[in-house]
Amino acid sequence: MIELNDSLTLQDFIAVVRNFKEVRLSGAARKRVEKSRTFIEKIIEQGDPVYGVNTGFGKFQNTRIERDMLEELQRNLILSHSIGVGEPFPEDVVRGMLLLRAQSLAMGHSGVRPLVIEGLLNFLNHQVHPVVPSQGSVGSSGDLAPLSHLTLALIGEGEVEYRGQVRPAREVLDELGLRPIVLQAKEGLALINGTQAMCSLLALLIHDVEILLSSVDIAAASTVEALKGSHKPFSEGIVRLRPHPGARQVSENLRNLLQHSEIEVSHENCEKVQDAYSLRATPQVHGASRDALRHAREILDIEMNSVTDNPLIFPDEEKVISGGNFHGQPLALAADYAGIAIAELANISERRIEQMLNPALSGLPAFLAEQGGLNSGLMISQYTAASLVSENKVLAHPASVDSIPTSANQEDHVSMGTIACRKAHQIFENTLWVIAIELVSAAQALDFQAPLKPGKGVKAVYDLIRSEIPHLERDRYFKPEVSKIREMIRSGRLVQAAREAVGQVH
């Protein structure tokens, strides 16, 4: 059981979102929430106008709402803002939104009742997942449309996915003995003013990309061996003179993976002076992506434990302050940076694929084909990789440089952060394919280096690949086999094989 208090880690997030660990509100958080709510009720009693409590929203901020209409005001807010479109977010994204919204409200600066947070946690613990369309957020007043669809189910409206079926929310609530929540003053606004859609997307990306970073180093090491590349560019002395943390990690990975290589010994005295950049600059390129993603992780860690609605409640000072914590700019920039960083991993990987498939560059059979001409070998796999990296280049155009005014120019600068996060996810998915193609190509190229054995870590990964995918002796339907390698990357099997052989692989 995970308790929501004031510190949610990415590890906790994954445990709840993907491993279905249950969550509850801690005693300390409950007290903070109750204190904040008591102050809201005092404001209502006094009748002073406070934005979002007893006024309209956005451009209607100066419209005063009578006390007997405050519940209707909050309900209308959710109904009117539930206008997202597009394919629904996947289950893990929605679970992440539920958890992160509960965490933000649990900080005690939003003015909701504990009952509201418990409603979100009930959905998590019963695995009831609101249907949330993925498009429609500009990422400034938070993720208004996505979070409205999330909240819609809490009040018994809209649809949810439960046990593999999409059904009316009210029907599922009745089945589970849960009552729809009647939102009171401030509560609807507190539920939808936040960055939880983009934050959930970014959290899942940052978690998943860690396995990609190790895998792309393994792919590069495999290509170095397949092409009889030099190991010297990965020496500790080189990166020590330009000690970016990511480059040092990648360089150490490559040294570990390439140790005890028979292939290296075989070309100690070759006439080649330097390898192509896509081989010898691997630490610098992969390392820069690691450093960019490390920065995105730092932004994420802050955001996961932040209060992002508006206005914010400060019960100790008896203040309500309108601000801009809902603005998605920190996440928008981080997601764009992450997407660019991941796209670069695919870019350099595709160049290494070309190095192996092009006989003028590799000294190996054209397209790594046996009986070239009769067989095309891996020719078209490079086309696919080229297509994917070109698509990534379009997707990597930053969303965060765009802005378009909303709410009659009241919200005159917006972040497009949710778009940035969605694009980064697509770049990640494309990049998995490119790295899988490089690994398939490297395994085929290593076959032509036999009986010489590659470095210990590369050999372990090669053996894993060959345990499920045989050498390409003649053309065959190969796409399912590339899919297998892609799944080996995503599941961590590939990295685990390397770690079992050489120990640490960052």
User: What mean pLDDT value characterizes the chain?
Assistant: 95
- pLDDT of 263 reads 95
Instruction: Give CA angle at 443 (437, 444), nearest 5°.
Output: 90
Cα–Cα distance for residue pair 44/93, rounded to 1 Å:
35
Cα–Cα distance for residue pair 252/261, rounded to 1 Å:
16
Arithmetic mean of pLDDT, 429-434? 98
What's CA 140's distance to the chain center, in Å? 19
pLDDT value at 56 more than 80: no
The DSSP secondary-structure symbol of 372 reads B
Cα–Cα distance for residue pair 31/106, rounded to 1 Å:
9
Specify burial of residue 444 (Cβ count, 10 A radius: 0-12, 13-18, 19+).
buried
Cα–Cα distance for residue pair 126/163, rounded to 1 Å:
10
Report pLDDT digits (tens) over 245-303: 999 999 999 999 999 999 999 887 777 779 999 999 999 999 999 999 999 999 999 99
Same domain membership, residue 139 and residue 119: yes
Output the domain CATH number for residue 12. 1.10.275.10
- pLDDT of 155 reads 97
Arithmetic mean of pLDDT, 389-400? 98
The DSSP secondary-structure symbol of 452 reads S
- Residue 51 pLDDT class (50, 70, 90 cuts): confident
- The tokens of 408 are what? 């009659």
Report pLDDT digits (tens) over 308-337: 999 999 999 999 998 999 999 999 999 999
Query: Residue holding tokens 């970014």?
Result: 202
Say if residues 185 and 74 touch (Cβ distance below 8 Å): yes
* List of residues 6+ apart from 368 with CB closer than 8 A: 356, 357, 377, 378, 441, 444, 445, 448, 472
Q: Other C-beta atoms within 10 Å of 270: how many?
A: 9
Same domain membership, residue 249 and residue 144: no
Q: Is 462 a catalytic residue?
A: no
Arithmetic mean of pLDDT, 133-149? 94
- pLDDT of 407 reads 82
Q: Which domain holds residue 343?
A: 201-502
What 3-state DSSP class applies to 24? strand
Percent of the chain topping pLDDT 90: 89
Same domain membership, residue 228 and residue 185: no
**Of the candidates 179, 194, 209, which is a domain's last residue?**
194
Cα–Cα distance for residue pair 189/483, rounded to 1 Å:
44
- The tokens of 443 are what? 């395994």
- Residue 43 pLDDT class (50, 70, 90 cuts): confident
State the SS3 of 139-186: CECECHHHHHHHHHHHCCCCEEEECCEEEEHHHHHHHHCCCCCCCCCC
Say if residues 472 and 478 touch (Cβ distance below 8 Å): yes
Same domain membership, residue 397 and residue 292: yes
Specify burial of residue 404 (Cβ count, 10 A radius: 0-12, 13-18, 19+).
exposed
Strand (E) or helix (H) holding 58: none
- pLDDT of 70 reads 87
Cα–Cα distance for residue pair 151/460, rounded to 1 Å:
49
Same domain membership, residue 205 and residue 88: no
Output the domain CATH number for residue 410. 1.20.200.10
Same domain membership, residue 151 and residue 260: no
β-pair partners for 102: none
**Which of 68-72, 224-228, 294-298, 343-347 bottoms out in mean pLDDT, i.e. has the lowest?**
68-72
Same domain membership, residue 453 and residue 322: yes
The DSSP secondary-structure symbol of 240 reads H
**Of the candidates 137, 172, 194, which is a domain's last residue?**
194
- pLDDT of 50 reads 81
Same domain membership, residue 258 and residue 401: yes
**Of the candidates 173, 194, 215, which is a domain's last residue?**
194
* List of residues 6+ apart from 18 with CB closer than 8 A: 92, 95
Give the total number of structural domains in the chain.
Answer: 2
What are the C-alpha distances in Å from 222 to residues 336, 459, 463?
29, 8, 12
Model-level pTM? 0.96
Same domain membership, residue 375 and residue 263: yes
Strand (E) or helix (H) holding 321: strand 319-321
Beta strands in 378-462 (DSSP E): none
Q: Are strands 85-88 and 23-25 parallel, antiparallel or unpaired?
A: unpaired
Same domain membership, residue 208 and residue 187: no
- Residue 198 pLDDT class (50, 70, 90 cuts): very high
Strand (E) or helix (H) holding 330: helix 329-357
Report pLDDT digits (tens) over 209-248: 999 999 999 999 999 999 999 999 999 999 999 999 999 9
Cα–Cα distance for residue pair 129/38, rounded to 1 Å:
30
pLDDT value at 437 more than 90: yes
Which amino acid type is present at position 81? H
Cα–Cα distance for residue pair 469/487, rounded to 1 Å:
13
Report pLDDT digits (tens) over 450-474: 999 999 999 999 999 999 999 999 9
Same domain membership, residue 365 and residue 219: yes
Cα–Cα distance for residue pair 97/77, rounded to 1 Å:
19
- pLDDT of 109 reads 96
- pLDDT of 181 reads 97
Q: Which of 51, 162, 337, 462 is catalytic?
A: 51
pLDDT value at 60 more than 90: no
- pLDDT of 468 reads 95
Classify the C-alpha dihedral 65-71-72-73 as positive or negative. positive
Same domain membership, residue 214 and residue 259: yes
Report pLDDT digits (tens) over 484-498: 999 999 999 999 999
